Structure 1
Amino acid sequence: MVGTASTELLVRHSGVGAARVGFRGDVEGLRAVAVLAVVVFHAGVPGVGGGFAGVDVFFVISGFLITGMLWREVAGSGTIRLARFYGARARRLLPAAGIVLVATAGGAAALLPPLQAREVLGDGIASALYVGNYRLALHGTDYLAADAPPSPFQHYWSLGVEEQFYLLWPALIIGVAWFVRRWRRTESASPTPYLVVLGVVAALSFAVSLDWTRTLPSWAFFALPARAWELAVGGMVALSVPVWRRIPEWAAAVAGWVGLAAIVVSCTQLDGRTPYPGTAALLPVLGAALIVAAGCAAPRLGVGRVLSTVPLRSIGRLSYSWYLWHWPVLLLAPKLSGHPLDLVGSLGAVATAAGLAMLTLWFVEDPARFAAPLRRSAALSLAGGGVVTAVAVCVGMVLLVLVPVPVGRGAAAEALTVVAAPQAPPSESIDPHDAAVQQLTAQVQTAVAASAESPSVPSNLSPSLADAPADKAAVFGNGCVRSWLDVGQPECAAGDIGSANMVALVGDSHAAMWSPAFEQIAEQRHWRLETMSKVTCPLMELPITSPYLGREYTECVQWRHQVLARLQAEHPRLIVLSMSRRYGGDFGFTTYDQAWIDSLSRLTTQLRATGANVLVLGPIPDPHSTVPTCLSGHLDDALACAPTRPVAVNDAGIAAERAATTAGDGQYADLTALFCTADRCPLITGNTLIYRDDNHLTVAYATALAPVVAALADGALAHG
């Protein structure tokens, strides 16, 4: 949470003249606007899709208040009493943050599935140390973690940004003061050097923000370098207060109302598809800056009269604790109630969070903030803050020990073993390759059917639930699978690298997840296997937007053209095409619609024109959950996590894809029988865990199916 500095300001009337303590009620009310925007956005209230911009408003407020406080001290004494400054921040921020951290950690440990709880507790420890924003940035750049459920500590990212700001800002102010004294050899009360430095910081940070919004969205959103300009804007307003006091009253009034309109527009017109922060953040940042600056002139008809009303000031005073409580309450309430929250339920949750915030304000925030012994002693304040942080970290670590690593409690199960039978004599009634596929598939179906009747997670599950998230093919980590911003496709050869028989495995991450099976086959068949893959980028020629990048996915379009040119030049014997079927909405196209089907037919024809045989792998069933996490909470009832076949499989879409592939003179492999019975799609077959997350196979299961996949590839080669 940001904007937590006191709105009690030391207001100077005439440069270095007399000073008095004043109160900016409009700033307190602006905090209310900011927290209401964030809370109603998280509650899912329609029409507030950009409520996340409330955090930007908080950043401006924090930059304004803290910079003004530091500047007045350095102008008056030539330095900053760091212990006093940090002691005040510790009293203001840490007690409430620590209470919510401990309560959220306990709730997560009690209510979340063990695997998710352990991940969340790691988030809690990082948040207690105020580096949670960088943990989130790192997770955001991991494609295979992109669909993980949100953490109840996710909102602590802004607190991390603020604490990092508190560490750097005083050093910056002291450095400028030292430089001014050394250069001018005299004390100077002029804010000009500080304004110049903040202007440079703001410009550099804004440039970083623009670049990272395009290239590293998660870092742009969570990291201080891309957010510092917002704090700097507030700081520049603080350093130019005398200028703002001199503007005409009518101009100040207009500026304030324009600023509020800009914030309202940002909250109602922006949404999750907006590349952010980038240029879009200018709306709430400049809007907040205009309101704060206009309030310096205190116009009678300005927006400050509304913001200073008692209800808004009361909410503003509550904003810090309400922000801390609202998100974990929203996320944990469905676990407590046993069902998802509708809008009414979400509003009830944030109202409950407001009640908790009041209790926190009365019994934690204010007592710690105004306790006379703490106010008199910076050392005692800092020690108290250190104790709060240490307790929060220790609670997280103890709960990590107490929350067990989930291990199956069922009887040990046999491993899935698929054995090729001796080749049957030629028959006019059935193709020998089709017969081999049927015989091998029948073995898998038998194991799947047995698992569909077995409720418990086997004790010898492979990979284990704890290890499953890391059980991904090597191509995901060696550059073969191209990330969002990557273009081109480096050579990624496996099998018999010197062989003239080339097989290309092409597509998005759902092609790459099959690489362990194809690598094994390539070794056996003496093929040179080339894996060509890019995340969330199917090879079909469809207009595509990247939800991660928040813009047209030009890198995907470029990669497609490069891969097609390479396939045309290298003439593989077989091209195996695979892709996720979870595209829709934000991507600019929808799986299985007519554009998808037509594009698949055209692509098959185009690939056949290279002289290659083409095998299109059908989809794997959609488990509709993060499988290891779900199973960790249902060790005795694994079937509770397993979707029914109609939910997991789109039979009509598969039939349409088969017809489109056949029309393009390719071979289509419907894989459903390798995963599902007629009724259900279990998540474990034998002792093998099928999914490593919510949509990718484990290496173990892909490898176990290698004999079936080999037979499908042989059939595709034979039918060319």
Structure 2
Amino acid sequence: MTDSKKASSNYRPEIQGIRTIGALLVAAFHIWGGRVSGGVDVFFVISGFLITGSLYREIKRTQTINVIAFWGRIAKRITPMACVILALTLVAALLWMPQSRQQGLLSEVIYSAVHLENIKLMMSSVDYLARDEAPSPVQQFWALSVQVQFYAVWPFLLLGIAIAAKRLRVFTSAYIVGLAALLIVSLGYSITQTNLNPSPTYFNTLARVWEFALGGMLAIALPYLNLPAALRLVAGWVGLAMVVSCGFLVPASAHYPGYVALWPTLGAVLIIVSGGGGVRFGADHILASKPLVALGEISFSFYLWHWPILVFFLIVDGQTQLGLVAGLSVIAIALCGAYATHRWFEQPVQQSSIGRSNPWHVHAMAVGLALPIVAASAVWYKWNDVQERRQSAALEQMMRRYPGGSQPISLAKAIKPGVPLHPTVSEARNAPADFCSQEKGEQGIVTCIHGVIEGYQKTIALVGGSQVEQWLPALEALASAQKWKIVVLAESDCSSCDVWSEAMHDAVLKLHPNVVFTVATSQRMQQSEAREAIPGSYLTQWKKLADNSITAIALRHTPSMGEDVLDCVEVNLHDIAKCAIPRWRLFDEIDPVSKLSPKPRNVRFIDLTDRFCDEQLCLPVGGNVLVYRDARHMTPEYARTLARRLGQRMQQVRPDLFLSNALEELGSDYPGGSMPMAVERAVKPNVPVYPRAAAVKYKHPNFCQQNETEAEVLTCVYGEVKNPFKTIALVGGSHAEHWLPALERLAHEYKWKIVAVTKSACQYSTEVESVPSCTQWNRDVHDVVRRINPDVVFTTSTRRRSRVGGLIEYIPNGYLAHWKRLEGDNISVIAVRDSARTRPDAPDCMEANLRDISKCAVPRSELFDEVDPTSMLSPKPANVNFIDLTDRFCDEKLCLPVGGNVLVFRDTHHITIEYSRTLAMPLGERMKQVRPDLFPAKAQPSSGQQKDPSASQ
């Protein structure tokens, strides 16, 4: 009984040692590992153990709990330190944080101050388009928020069990049974939700309650455990090994928490069971040593300190990961800060008389500390918002100074000196979605119509993933003059939904557009390497389109920059090449379409890669227009600047789609993606980049794009709705969707109907996806496209993956399978090469390097292969035409975050609406090259200008 009594002692020094180990593991894996350490789970078990034990003893002693006093003790413990960290973080943000990231921080500071940061992160984690955001310096407050929510309800739960125990005339067993039931329910919920939707579940308090319940059960049962010394010895060391090894053994790909979190939590239980002294050579002796106990006293402070120090280290140093020396420096500074604030702030407050006579005084103190932080953050947020709105309004008046993708991309032309990027980085991150006309289709399909709704001559269907839909702004720019009705069959932020379900296929057939606008190639990313290819699903869909006498224009995929380019662009506007990606990493030297044999008879291929990449680089800016709104998707602004270029290419391949020679541009200062990407013209001096990043971050072109968790196929119709000349189905994920602004511009010009059918985080592919809703969406989308019956399905053609045989890009077999299925329904496809990506720090980079935007570029070779994988596709799908617009994101060497003075990306891989619109011309040109039937006979995409020598079949 001696050991048992020691084990039940209220003070357990080894617990402080466990806290130290947990805090150091969290910091180490945050700095170097990038994986789950299990340290936070250990914290939750310890909190459940200590708090339940304390409240349980109070109930036994007084038959109740003084909830107000309990909350006061908690507030006195955590509020002072939390408020100090939040205040210091605000000061650091004022000194070092780029303006484009301040709004996100200020919002999270408010949530953290009221202990709802985990709710904020849950909301962000379900937004696919927000996932590329750089982590906030207060993100670590999610764990504290979960604990405070636990503290808020736990007393009432224990009181409820006490009432039941009294009626049943049991006590201890009632608590064990009650907490066990809660553990089982919460753990079951955690396992289920982690499998279905792991990102928000990680921050969900309901999925973490079982960890507190586990610690609570241990607190009640521990006094009755009388384990042999040998067993306790083994349990202690095994438990310590489990806790320490969690971060090393749990793979980065594992969904967390779920059942995986049992590993560190059970390890913590074994350590606590083994403790209490009385066992020689036990793990508790090490954990109860003076150094670890001393560090345990400041572990809470250290946990709060380490994360903002790490984030600001990365911001100031301009890095995405720290080395050994820098990482150790972060830990050392965090320990010093934790000791100082604990010694001279936290401890004095703890030892003060506040709350001893009246617990409400502590609550008043907590409100008094938190309120100024909330107020300051709210005022600062409002001030930034007002300033951003003013600057955005001024930039909108200057849109015609942003050529964007209307000219080939190059470092020389990516940014205009003295001209702000369009959109700005912060606009690219925070802009709301555009509105679109909706048409309710069969099987729950909602279409978005762009371009000319009444009196249209041609209908163009955009079908595929987000790589297809991002071309809508360019197509829409062409729609008016060409009397196009553009029907987009795509769902929001669905980067991987490139496989058509039967429902989508049927929708395309029913719509029977003049052309299906889609992508021809795809890239698969694995460990930052990829290979360009034409997915087999693309060929299948094109074949089905052909079988139903539906033609397609397939674009070579736009380059994916791989990281959030906005931060880089913001810091390196003066050297945009720093944000570029080598072209060879994103594109093959030869377009895979050129190697496709036999080529699908109903598909025309367009290559606009010169609007993303020059000969060496893929750039995130083209013609002063931001090319990307994230790593993979064009900004609508850049897409619009591609209208003329797209119109020219489309007219070459489908002259029947065109009625007019007129192709809209933003203007000479903002060519955006209307010209090939080049560093020298990415940013224009003394001309602001358009649009502002803050205005486009959450602005994606398809209003009714399906979210990540739902499987229903939604469609939105754009362009000419009633009498389209052609119908284009935009199908796929967000990389298809960010082409919508360009397509929509073309739709206005050529009277296309664009039906967007896109889904977030979901490729248009028959290959099994990790997210069940994506797999189901792909099963259903084909019928939808078949019912639309577009003239062409517009989608993406390539993805990126780990370098295989020296190649980065590839065409997934799932793409080819969809195309083959479309071919069976006589529906043609235009598949565009996947767009570029940009650096995660691009906005910060652009802010500091507008005069040298190449500093924010990503080497083209990191994003594109030298040859478009669609050119190597053999046999090529008969119903698919491939388009390559990588030159609108990258020049020959770099992929820029700004092109033609227009902001290319709103995050790491999504194109801004503004840049997408500038891509309308090159997109139209390349579509015409492969599908001239989409264009009215008299239409001339070149708008009377000299033919672009870079146009290719």
Matches within 5 A, 1:261-410: 261-295=241-275, 298-339=278-319, 341-375=322-356, 377-400=358-381, 405=387, 407=391
Map 1:26-105 → 2, pairs under 5 A: 26-44=14-32, 49-51=35-37, 53-105=38-90
Pairing partner for 2:835 from 603, 608, 620? 620
Q: What is the SS of the residue equivalent to 2:916?
A: helix
Q: What is the total number of aligned residue pairs between the two structures? A: 675
**Aligned counterparts of 1:200 and 1:260: Cα–Cα separation in 2:** 27
Aligned residue type for 1:533: T
1:452 counterpart letter in structure 2: R
Query: In structure 2, which of residues 127, 131, 145 is the aligned counterpart of residue 142 of structure 1?
Result: 127
Paired position in structure 2 for 1:664: 877
Note if contact 1:582-1:591 (Cα within 8 Å) is conserved in structure 2: no
For 2:835 and 2:806, the matched residues in 1 are separated by: 14
Deviations 1:20-46 (A, max 9, x none): 97420111111112112111111205x
Contact preservation (8 Å) 1:622, 1:648: no
User: Aligned letter for 1:503?
Assistant: I
* Matched residue, 2:105: 120
Structure 1 residue 483 and structure 2 residue 707: aligned?
yes
Aligned mates of 1:640, 1:83 — CA distance in 2: 58
For 1:468, which of 696, 703, 711 is the aligned residue?
696
Aligned to 2:497: none
Do the aligned partners of 1:509 and 1:580 also contact (CA within 8 Å) in 2? no
Which has the higher mean CA deviation after the structures are superposed, 342-351 or 142-151?
A: 342-351
Does residue 909 of structure 2 align to residue 695 of structure 1?
A: yes
Task: Please give the alpha-carbon distance, in whole angstroms, between the structure 1 residues aligned to 2:751 and 2:187.
Answer: 54
Q: 1:503 deviation in Å? A: 2.8
Q: How far 1:651 sits from its partner (Å)? A: 5.0
1:204-232 Cα offsets, whole Å, 9 max, x none, are 21122112101222332112111011001
The within-5 A match list for 1:534-549 is 534-542=759-767
Q: Distance in 2 between matches of 1:644 and 1:226?
A: 39
1:176 maps to what in 2? 161
Encode CA deviations 1:173-222: one digit per residue, 9 max, x unaligned. Answer: 223334445x36xxx78222222222222122112211210122233211
CA distance in 2, matches of 1:413, 1:640: 23
Other structure's SS at 2:309 match = helix
**Change in 2 beyond 3 A, CA 1:361/1:667:** same
Asked if 1 retains the 8 angstrom alpha-carbon contact of 2:652 and 2:928, the reply is yes
* Aligned 8 A contact 2:795 2:832 in 1: yes
Cα deviations by residue, 1:465-509 (Å, 9 ceiling, x for unpaired): 32111321134xx2xx33333335245444455669543222221
Q: Which moved more, 1:163-172 or 1:367-376?
A: 367-376
Q: Partners in 2 of 1:662 and 1:554 — Cα distance?
A: 31
Separation in structure 1 between the aligned mates of residue 650 and residue 308 of structure 2, nearest angstrom: 59
Contact 2:196 2:771 in 1 (8 A): no
2:732 to 504, 507, 512: 507
Q: Choose 408-417 or 567-576, whichever is displaced more.
A: 408-417
CA distance in 1, matches of 2:824, 2:99: 51
Secondary structure of the 2:825 match is coil
Gaps of 5+ in 1: 1-10, 424-429, 545-551
Residue of structure 1 equivalent to 2:143 = 158
The alignment's TM-score, normalised by the length of structure 1, stands at 0.83
**2:781 is equivalent to residue 560 of structure 1:** no
CA contact 2:799–2:810 (8 Å) conserved in 1: no
Contact 1:503 1:575 in 2 (8 A): yes
Deviation at residue 393 of structure 1 after TM alignment: 2.0
CA distance in 1, matches of 2:370, 2:268: 31
Does the Cα contact within 8 Å between 1:573 and 1:717 map onto a contact in 2? Answer: no
Moved more, 140-149 or 494-503: 494-503
* Residue 143 of structure 1, CA deviation: 0.2
Change over 3 Å in CA distance of 1:498–1:297 after alignment to 2: farther
Partner of 1:25: 13
Q: Give the CA deviation at 1:372.
A: 3.9
Aligned residue among 152, 161, 186 for 1:205: 186
Q: Which residue of 2 aligns with 1:516?
A: 741
Q: Measure, in 2, the Cα distance between the counterparts of 1:253 and 1:657.
A: 63
Distance change (3 Å), C-alpha of 1:399 and 1:172: same
Please state how far the C-alpha of 1:595 moved relative to its aligned partner. Answer: 5.7
CA gap 1:579/1:281 in 2 versus in 1, 3 angstroms: farther
Alpha-carbon separation, structure 1, partners of 2:797 and 2:268: 45
**Could you tell me how far apart the structure 2 residues matched to 1:439 and 1:212 are?**
52
1:114-164 Cα deviation digits (max 9, x unpaired) = 020221121111111100110011000000001111111111100000111
Distance 1:594 1:543, change over 3 A: farther
- In 1: Cα distance, 2:26 partner to 2:812 partner: 41
Superposed displacement of residue 102, structure 1: 0.7
How many angstroms does 1:107 deviate by? 0.7
Label 1:175 to 1:347 Cα distance change in 2 as closer, same or farther (>3 A). Answer: same
User: What's 1:717 paired with?
Assistant: 931
Residues 298, 231 of structure 1: alpha-carbon distance in 2 compared, 3 angstrom cutoff = farther
8 Å Cα contact 2:797-2:870 kept in structure 1: no
Deviates more, 1:256-265 or 1:357-366: 256-265
Question: Measured at CA, do residues 173 and 601 of structure 1 come closer, stay the same or move farther in structure 2, by a change above 3 Å?
Answer: closer
Higher mean Cα deviation, 503-512 or 335-344? Answer: 335-344
Q: 1:591 to 1:399 in 2, by over 3 A?
A: farther
Bigger shift: residues 287-296 or 641-650:
641-650
Say whether the 8 Å CA contact 1:39–1:323 is kept in structure 2: yes
| Structure 1 contact 506–577 (Cα < 8 Å) conserved | yes
The answer as to whether partners of 2:860 and 2:891 remain within 8 angstroms in 1 is no
Question: Which amino acid in structure 1 is aligned with residue 700 of structure 2?
Answer: K
1:433 aligned partner, one-letter code: Q
- Give the Cα–Cα distance (whole angstroms) in 2 for the partners of residues 171 and 102 of structure 1: 32
Runs (5+) with no aligned partner, structure 2 = 407-476, 483-648, 935-953
Where 1:306 maps in the other structure, the secondary structure is helix
Contact 2:735 2:796 in 1 (8 A): yes
Considering fraction of residues, name the structure with more helix. Answer: 1
User: Conserved in 2, the CA contact under 8 Å of 1:325 and 1:357?
Assistant: yes
- Conservation of the 8 A alpha-carbon contact between 1:252 and 1:297: no
- State the distance in 1 between where 2:864 and 2:809 align: 15
**Deviation for aligned residue 1:91:** 1.8
1:5 is matched with which residue? Answer: none
Aligned residue type for 2:681: A
Instruction: Quickly say closer, same or farther: Cα 1:21–1:50, change in 2 above 3 A.
Output: closer
**Secondary structure in structure 2 of the residue aligned to 1:92:** helix
- Note closer, same or farther for the CA distance 1:514–1:291 as it changes in structure 2 (3 Å cut): same
The answer as to whether partners of 1:27 and 1:292 remain within 8 angstroms in 2 is yes
Counterparts of 2:854 and 2:684, CA distance in 1 = 8
In the alignment, structure 1 residue 529 sits paired with structure 2 residue 754: yes
| Contact kept in structure 1, 2:682 and 2:898, CA below 8 Å | no
Please show how residues 219-230 of structure 1 align to structure 2 within 5 Å.
219-230=200-211
Tell which deviates more after alignment, 364-373 or 704-713. Answer: 704-713
Displacement of 1:103 in angstroms is 0.7
My pick for the range that moved more, 667-676 or 431-440, is 431-440
